[in-house]
Amino acid sequence: MEGRQQQLGRWQEPVERALADLAARDAVRRLWDRDPSLWKEDPQHQAEISQRLGWLTVTRTMRSQLADLSSFAREVAQAGTRQVVLCGMGGSSLCPEMLHLTFGSAAGYPRLQVLDTTDPDVVSHVAQQAEPEHSLYLISSKSGGTIEVDSLFRLFFDRAQARLGERAGSAFAAVTDPGTSLELLGADRRFRGVFLNPPDIGGRYSALSLFGLVPAALMGLDLDRLLESADRMAMACGVATSAEANPGLWLGAALGVMAGAGRDKLTLLSSPGIDSLGLWVEQLIAESTGKEGRGIVPVAGEPLEPAESYGEDRFFVYTRLEGDDNTALDRFVADLRRVGQPVVTFSLGDRYDLARELFRWEFATALAGAILWIDPFDQPNVQESKDNTARLLAVYKEKGSLPTEEADLVEGELKLYGIKESTIAAALSSFLAQAHPGDYLAMMAYLEMVESNDRALEVLRRRLLERTGLPTTLGYGPRFLHSTGQLHKGGPNSGLFLQITADKRAKLPIPGQPYDFATLQAAQALGDRQALREHGRRALSIHLGSDVQRGLARLTAALG
């Protein structure tokens, strides 16, 4: 069932030594026994880790709930629901989005719309399409109090109440931990359903819990088949399996060894039919390992370049779906092997094998943390940007506007913050001149997630890759704050951060708040920029004005 092919070259022996070391540390047994000393020695840290290991056996808990989940999904579908709007961030949204993009919805079941942004243009578009009479709004949050999710709930409930009156709650369901404000809200507003997840699972490890399975059920997927696939991988990762044959242990050893040797740019390749897997792995790896000045930089969705152009900081993992159109990727991976890049290929027989990959990556990431001597279950720097946002919004409530920054350069509608130069081209050159071998370039786009922006950002990303030779990442804001944001602030100081913002067309108030969605998103962008600066990160912020396409084209042209 492993389906692994590997070419590690001179890294094969170090990985084998790491496997032997993990075996000597009895790492697999200690992981299954939930022994926190595998990662940290201090009692307070160990106590926190002990409350984050429920993902190891969550499929057993989930099996007892499959009948209820299926019954709920049928009830929603038979009620004439046309779409489910999932309001969540990070671990609450990335697995459902991956399942939606991979499987779609079964016949007779509503389509899933994942809404993990505060961009008013996106939110306004979804709100106009999602009529309360024919929609289920799934409010998904482990903590129950995430500002993005709370804001989306306020908007949709206000609209549902205007159309449905006292029946507004029937258009809502929630997934959260026991005892949260969201659980209480669901009871008070008479939600159609409130699903309480096991509390000992962190958000990014929650894919096989209710945070993943409730949306999967609403799409009509075969939940038993998903869990069976994951269980097969969990069994293969058990204590009875030898170190070399243990798929999760082997990947964890490879990740840890490569990162320790400077090959910390984990470049994720996936067949077209499952290419959204990379975004889920990106969050898991970045948020789990990017801390204490260490970490693995996941690179997902990057344009392919000639194999000879990649540096000595790459480690490639290719997830290959049998029967898919893999011609281009197979050729690319063969070229990587030819030039001596380390490559691992995992083969999937069908799409439901994705569930086994979810467990493999969770298990491997936990063990990579043991090699790097970090806690893969906390996220100590995520709160910084949240606190900055809250402080900025408090200023807005008091003064009616956000604090303003003086732009270092204004050229037409474009404004730059962070480098004092005479032209856009000169500013970009100065920014990129700060790069060193082993760095990466992160594009952080607080823009509308639409195909036209995807294409323009792809062109800009390719040009940056060609210009610098650096590995590149791309995230839409604020969703990346719940994914790669931890790595950006807590990981190694090897990133160059290009923040891109723009004016918003939609004026969309948040019911019960003195600010609107545009103000919230602006505060999040400014708060993250401040956090990056506080950590001494190399950052440049560019505001595109009102014409996003023209602004992105100008940036691309300025790169020469």
DSSP assignments along 249-262, one per residue: HHHHHHHHHHHHTT
Q: Give φ, ψ of 480 to 5 degrees.
A: -70, -20
Residue 108 has pLDDT above 80, yes or no: yes
What would the mean pLDDT of 368-390 be, rounded to a whole number?
92
Instruction: Look at residue 384 in the predicted model and tell me its pLDDT.
Output: 86
CA distance linking residue 485 with residue 470, whole number of Å: 19
* Backbone angle region of 262, left / alpha / beta, with phi > 0 → left and psi within -120 to 50 → alpha: left
CA distance linking residue 38 with residue 27, whole number of Å: 7
pLDDT digits (tens, 9 = 90+) for 144-179: 999 999 999 999 999 999 999 999 999 999 999 999
Cβ atoms of residues 309 and 267 within 8 Å: no
Give whole-number Cα distances, 130 to 83, 125, 208, 327, in Å.
Answer: 7, 9, 27, 39
What would the mean pLDDT of 421-429 be, rounded to a whole number?
94
Which residues make beta-bridge pairs with 416? 409, 542
Helix H segments across 64-119? 66-78, 94-103
Neighbours of 107 (CB within 10 A): 7
Residue 556 has pLDDT above 60, yes or no: yes
Using DSSP bridges, classify how beta strands 343-348 and 4-7 pair: parallel, antiparallel or unpaired.
antiparallel
Instruction: Look at residue 2 in the predicted model and tell me its pLDDT.
Output: 66
Instruction: Look at residue 1 in the predicted model and tell me its pLDDT.
Output: 55
Instruction: Look at residue 383 in the predicted model and tell me its pLDDT.
Output: 83
Grade residue 3 by pLDDT with cuts at 50, 70 and 90: confident
Q: Give φ, ψ of 384 to 5 degrees.
A: -60, -50
pLDDT digits (tens, 9 = 90+) for 262-303: 999 999 999 999 999 999 999 999 999 999 999 999 999 999
Residue type, 231: D
Cβ atoms of residues 426 and 411 within 8 Å: no
Task: Report residue 423 CA to chain centroid gap.
Answer: 34
Average pLDDT, the chain: 96
Q: Give φ, ψ of 347 to 5 degrees.
A: -105, 135
Residue type, 411: E
What would the mean pLDDT of 392-412 be, rounded to a whole number?
94
Grade residue 481 by pLDDT with cuts at 50, 70 and 90: very high
Grade residue 95 by pLDDT with cuts at 50, 70 and 90: very high
In this prediction, what percent of the chain has a pLDDT beyond 70? 100
> Which SS3 state, helix, strand or coil, does residue 348 take?
strand
Whole-structure pTM value: 0.97
What would the mean pLDDT of 305-310 be, rounded to a whole number?
97
pLDDT digits (tens, 9 = 90+) for 483-534: 999 999 999 999 999 999 999 999 899 999 999 999 999 999 999 999 999 9
Q: Read off the tokens for 91.
A: 């671990």
Neighbours of 481 (CB within 10 A): 26
Q: CA nearest 115: which of 135, 97, 141?
A: 97
Residue 117 has pLDDT above 90, yes or no: yes
CA distance linking residue 535 with residue 538, whole number of Å: 9
CA distance linking residue 299 with residue 367, whole number of Å: 20
Output the CA torsion 160→139→477→366 (10° steps).
-170
Instruction: Look at residue 385 in the predicted model and tell me its pLDDT.
Output: 83
Q: Where are the beta strands (DSSP E) in 364-446?
A: 409-411, 414-417, 440-445
CA distance linking residue 560 with residue 544, whole number of Å: 18
Neighbours of 406 (CB within 10 A): 7
Residue type, 226: L
Residue 324 has pLDDT above 60, yes or no: yes
CB pairs under 8 A, 24+ apart, for 392-397?
Answer: 392/523, 392/526, 392/527, 393/515, 393/519, 393/520, 393/523, 396/514, 396/515, 396/519, 396/523, 397/514, 397/515
Residue 78 has pLDDT above 70, yes or no: yes
Grade residue 382 by pLDDT with cuts at 50, 70 and 90: confident
pLDDT digits (tens, 9 = 90+) for 22-40: 999 999 999 999 999 999 9
Cβ atoms of residues 439 and 483 within 8 Å: no
Cβ atoms of residues 172 and 154 within 8 Å: no
What would the mean pLDDT of 90-118 be, rounded to a whole number?
97
What would the mean pLDDT of 536-558 be, rounded to a whole number?
97
Sheet holding 135-140, edge to edge: 111-115, 83-87, 135-140, 172-176, 193-196
DSSP state, residue 447: S
CA distance linking residue 87 with residue 456, whole number of Å: 26
Which residues make beta-bridge pairs with 297? 265
Burial (CB count within 10 angstroms: exposed 0-12, middle 13-18, buried 19+), residue 219 = buried
Which residues make beta-bridge pairs with 137? 85, 172
pLDDT digits (tens, 9 = 90+) for 217-228: 999 999 999 999
DSSP state, residue 114: E
